[in-house]
Amino acid sequence: MIRIMLVDDHTLVREALRVVLEREGDIVVVAEVGDGETALKMATQLSPDVVVMDVAMPGLSGIETTRRLLAARPQIKVLALSTYLDRHTVQQMLDAGANGYIVKSAAGTELKQGIHSVMGGQCYLCAEVTALVTDGLRTRHYKHTDPDQRPLSRRELQIATLIAQGKSAPEIGAELHISPRTVEVHRRNLMGKLGFHSAVDLTKYAIRTGLIMP
């Protein structure tokens, strides 16, 4: 069972999320809390697998709560849930250590998928954020920060886009009609060019450099 803690200052939101999540046979909500300080205490006591974290809360913000929580319990996955869809907020949550970001309007359809993705070690962005990522990756030219750095090829941009969507090597291979091994070769090349090691790094870069526009 995947053990979930819900952190949101609105009781009705927490209750609605619990109903949605507990329809799944492999998810159980072990706690609902309404503020960051309580979330830190409960996370220490319960060690949930995933914390669904509201970003904007009175008192300790979701960003600071995430930072403190993961400093103490780095094994916990944090999935941000927010009404905000802007570059600065998404960047702050990812920099704090969140494994994904979902806007509340998409929570009903994407929250369960997001939970399973972060449990599988992937970074998960909802469709709205993903659209911003992929549009930026398709339309913006890669800027050199090092004279020896090479721009990404068209294929590498395609694969970078699909990585940002949280797709696995077999899924990318099936979509592009290439083998998973070839996908991994392109992935290593593009990550090497950018100096990154994970999809989370790629997403943070996209946000920070303006590939994602608010």
Q: What is the Cα 200 distance to its own chain's centre?
A: 7
- Average pLDDT, stretch 53-67? 94
What pLDDT score was predicted for residue 165? Answer: 67
- Tell me which of 132 and 117 has the higher pLDDT: 117
Sheet holding 2-7, edge to edge: 27-33, 2-7, 50-54, 77-82, 100-103, 124-125
Q: What is the pLDDT of residue 132?
A: 63
Query: Is the whole model's pTM more than 0.75, yes or no?
Result: no
pLDDT, one tens digit per residue, over 142-189 is: 444 444 455 667 788 778 777 766 678 898 999 999 998 999 888 888
Label the pairing between strands 100-103 and 50-54.
unpaired
Q: State the average pLDDT over residues 127-151.
A: 56
| Region label for 28, one of left (φ > 0), alpha (ψ between -120 and 50) or beta (otherwise) | beta
User: Among residues 115, 143, 134, which one has the least CA distance to residue 2?
Assistant: 115
- Residue 212 above 90 pLDDT? no
Determine the residue type at 136. G
Region 48-52: mean pLDDT is 98
Averaged pLDDT, 4-26:
92
Out of 10-24, 29-43, 67-81, 130-144, least confident range: 130-144
With beta carbons less than 8 A apart as the criterion, state whether 166 and 101 touch: no
Domains identified in the chain and CATH numbers? 2-125 (3.40.50.2300), 130-208 (1.10.10.10)
State mean pLDDT over 195-201: 76
